[in-house]
Amino acid sequence: MNKKAVLFAALLVFSVFSVHAQFTLAPKIGLSYSTFGGDFTNSRLMPGAFFGGMLNYKMQELYSFQSGIFLSGKGTTLRYSEIDDDHMLISYLEFPFNSILTVPAGSGILQLFAGPYFGYALSGRYKYLEDENDITEKLQIGTSESDEIKPFDAGLNFGIGFLFMGFEVQGAYSRSLTNISNLPVDKLYNSVVTISMGYFFELNPGGNQQRWYRAR
C-alpha cells in the first residue's frame, strides 16, 4: 500500500467517525523528546513535534475512548564526541487507540490512559552535523534488502492528562514493540516522551446531553 492510499484511508475513517453525534473532536499539537532503544549505545534524546486530531467517545461515567491521526517526528541524536553529533529523523503517520479512565478532580477531569499505536513511516533522513558541513542523506524506507527502515511501527503508549472545559493537556510515553530497522545487524525501537494540548469541540452543540468534559 503506498503513502497516498494510507493517508486517504486514514482521513476517510476519521471523517466517518467525526460525524457521529456522540463523538467530540479536537485538533492537537505537542512536543516530543525521542530516542532509539536497541543497538545504538550512543543514542541521545532529540526534540521534535507532532500535530493532528483526536476523537473522544465517552462510553461510560468513568471511561472514555480516544483515537486519532498524527504527523509525528521521531528519531535520535547520535553522539560521537563532545563536538560531534549526528541526527536521525523519521516522519510517521501515526494512529493511537487509547482507553481512558476519567476521574473527577475539582472542576476538571483527571485522565489515566493507555493503549496501542500504529505508525507508517513517510520519510526519513540522516544529518551529519559539525564535522561534515550539515550534509543530509535520505533514509531508505521499505522491506527490500536495500532499505534501512521498515515502513511500519507498532507499540504501546500510556500517560496522564487533565481536562477542563474542553481543554486537554496530556503527558505520555510510547515505545515500539517491533524492530523498525530493516538491517539484520541492527535492532532499533522508537522511545518517545510527549506533552500535548488540544481543545475538544462539541459535534452536537444543540443536544440536551450534559457536556462530556464536565466533572460530575
Query: Is 134 a domain residue?
Result: yes
Q: What whole-number distance in Å separates Cα of residue 1 and Cα of residue 195? A: 31
Domain count, the chain: 1
Query: Is 171 a domain residue?
Result: yes
Helix (H) or strand (E) holding 11: helix 3-18
Find the length of the chain: 216
Query: Is 99 a domain residue?
Result: yes
Q: At 23, which CATH number?
A: 2.40.160.20
Query: Is 207 a domain residue?
Result: no
First to last CA, the chain: 46
Query: Is 59 a domain residue?
Result: yes
Helix (H) or strand (E) holding 120: strand 108-128
pLDDT of residue 81: 72
DSSP symbol at 146: T
Query: Is 23 a domain residue?
Result: yes
Q: What whole-number distance in Å separates Cα of residue 134 and Cα of residue 126? A: 10
- The residue segments making up the domain with residue 67 are 3-202
| Beta-strand relationship, 201-202 and 108-128 | unpaired
Residue whose C-alpha cell reads 459535534 in the numeric block = 203
Q: What is the pLDDT along the chain (216 residues), one digit of tens a residue?
A: 565 555 555 555 555 444 444 788 999 999 999 999 888 778 889 999 999 999 998 888 789 999 999 999 999 988 877 667 888 999 999 999 999 999 999 889 999 999 999 999 999 998 887 655 668 889 999 988 889 999 999 999 999 999 999 999 999 999 999 999 998 778 999 999 999 999 998 765 554 444 545 544
Query: Is 114 a domain residue?
Result: yes
- Backbone angles phi and psi of 156, in degrees to 5: -120, 150
pLDDT of residue 136: 85
pLDDT of residue 7: 57
Query: Is 51 a domain residue?
Result: yes
